[in-house]
Amino acid sequence: MTTAVLLDHVSAYAAAVRSHLADLSPEQVDDLTDGLEADLAEALEDPTGAVATGEIPIGRVGAVQGSGALIDLTRRFGPAADYAAELRAAAALVPAPTAASGARQLGRSLVGLGERTAARARAVASRPGVAALAGFTLALRPVWWLVRGWVWFVFVIWLLRGFLGFTMSQGLLPTTAGAWLLLALTTTVSVQWGRGRLVRPTVLHWAATGGNVLAVVLALPLAVAAWGLVSDRIDVSPRVSYVEVPVYEQAPPQDGVWVDGMQVSNLFVYDADGGPLTGVQVFDDRGREVRTIGDDPWATWALPGVAEPWRFLPAQDDAGRDRWNVHPLLGAPAGEWEEGGSEPTLLTGATASTPPVPFAKAPSVTGDQAGDGVEGSGGAATTVLSGGEVGAP
């Protein structure tokens, strides 16, 4: 007889047995007859099996009826009803109450579902690979206890945030002695609970379960947030950061003469009586030439009250050198210059002239001061006025 045919018979017999247990709850029937097919099949194939309570080992049935004969399992196991009754009696199971309220029915089926799920879980857990994995996971439980303690800590901080005024970063990682103390407390409670060292009355059971669920739900998002903080703090990888630092930079020295923040193109010198002077050489306290025209001698300058910009020429000393400190500089409007060459030259017929003076005559100065100021330099007091503004070079 093939195994398949045998199993068909066994399945049919087991189904018959179950039908006689129909008054029990499905969970009870499952519990009572789980694995029944395997036991029946093995009993049938065991030729040495003793005949007991009217059972006939299939080996003997075959010997009596000849191989391949259709077997009547009731001859081996007795009527399915009797078998079911014996099973039920030995298991001391009472019939399920028939008049159960809907809610109770629902509750029972939920409980049954839980039991079946647990049974399946036990079945899965019994597989070698899964068992090994389960053992590994079990060894990691202390890690979970610590994580759970931390999640509780964060939750408590969050609950107290209005009172304590914590920022988010302070709420995730302890930054004060009090916070460390709280973290130590929640961690201790979590670990002790995990080790089963806490007395857990029934009233606390639900709180504990809630705490566990809370920790499971919050652990991952909080861990991500905390990792962001931690990695920000301990990040050692090179990272470009831009920090604004006020730097008081000294403006590079500018050539030329500046008056009240404005560069001037020319200086106008008046004597003590207020009369304009020409061809005055101006030096500073170190004997350097005071030049209004800087690096670009051919820049054009906007003069106050003059529409056309001007360009200036240096004076020449006896040796033929350019002297830019001889004021007022002479020049001509930009329109009178030849632009073609390497440097502009005055058009033929145009002559350099003194640009418009700010005023024809300056106020005269009183004698004492005027005399002090020009002692030994020709005997005439001078007044220096600037003129012109820098234009677009």
Partner 1 sequence: MDTTQLLKGVLDVAVLAVVEREDGYGYDVVRRLRAAGLEEVGEASVYGTLRRLYASGALASYVVPSDEGPHRKYYGINAQGRAMLEAQRKDWHEFATAMTALLETEGVDR
Q: Contact residues for partner 1 (CB under 8 A)?
A: 3, 7, 10, 31-32, 34-43, 46, 49-50, 52-53, 55, 77, 83-84, 86-93, 119, 122-123, 125-127
Element (H, E) at 118: helix 102-125
54, 60, 66, 70 alpha-carbon torsion, rounded to 10°: 40
Judged by CB, which is closer to partner 1: 41, or 147? 41
For residues 112 and 333, which CB has a smaller minimum distance to partner 1 in the complex? 112
Q: Least distance to partner 1 from the beta carbon of 145, Å?
A: 24
Question: Of 77 and 193, which CB lies nearer to partner 1 in the complex structure?
Answer: 77
Tokens of 181: 């103390």
**CA-to-CA distance for 221 and 215, rounded, in angstroms?**
11
- Smallest separation (angstroms) from partner 1 to the CB of 123: 4
Distance from C-alpha of 292 to C-alpha of 379, rounded to nearest angstrom: 25
Q: How far is the CB of 208 from partner 1 (least distance, A)?
A: 22
Q: Could you check whether the bond before residue 328 is cis, i.e. omega within 30 degrees of 0?
A: yes
Quote the least distance from Cβ 193 to partner 1, whole Å: 22
282: left (phi over 0), alpha (psi -120 to 50) or beta: beta
Distance CA 279, CA 376 (A): 18
| Tokens at 45, concatenated | 């194939």
| Residue 373 near residue 254, CB atoms below 8 Å | no
8 or 375: whose CB is closer to partner 1? 8
Question: Do 136 and 144 contact (CB within 8 A), yes or no?
Answer: no
Helix ranges (DSSP H) in 160-176 = 161-164, 168-172
Q: State the sign of the Cα–Cα–Cα–Cα dihedral 201, 206, 210, 216.
A: positive
Query: Judged by CB, which is closer to partner 1: 88, or 311?
Result: 88
Residue 187 CB, nearest distance to partner 1 (Å)? Answer: 31
Amino acid identity at 351? T
Strand 310-313 relative to strand 330-333, pairing? antiparallel
Closest approach, Cβ 53 to partner 1, in A, equals 5
Residue 131 or 230 with smaller CB distance to partner 1: 131
CB of 59 to partner 1, least distance (A): 14
Give me the half-sphere count of Cα atoms (radius 13 Å) on the Cβ side of residue 10. Answer: 20
3-state secondary structure of 346: strand
Least distance CB 14 / partner 1 (angstroms): 9
Instruction: Pick between residue 44 and residue 330 the one whose CB is nearest to partner 1.
Output: 44
- Shortest distance (Å) from residue 50 CB to partner 1: 5
Q: Measured from the CB atom, is 131 or 216 closer to partner 1? A: 131
C-beta of 105 vs 126, nearer to partner 1 = 126
Query: Taking the complex as a whole, how short is the minimal distance between the CB of residue 133 and partner 1, in angstroms?
Result: 15
* CA dihedral (334, 340, 346, 349) positive or negative: negative
- Packing angle of the helix pair 36-45, 3-19 (nearest 10 deg): 130
Nearer to partner 1, 93 or 315 (CB): 93
| Rounded Cα distance, 156 and 150, in Å | 10
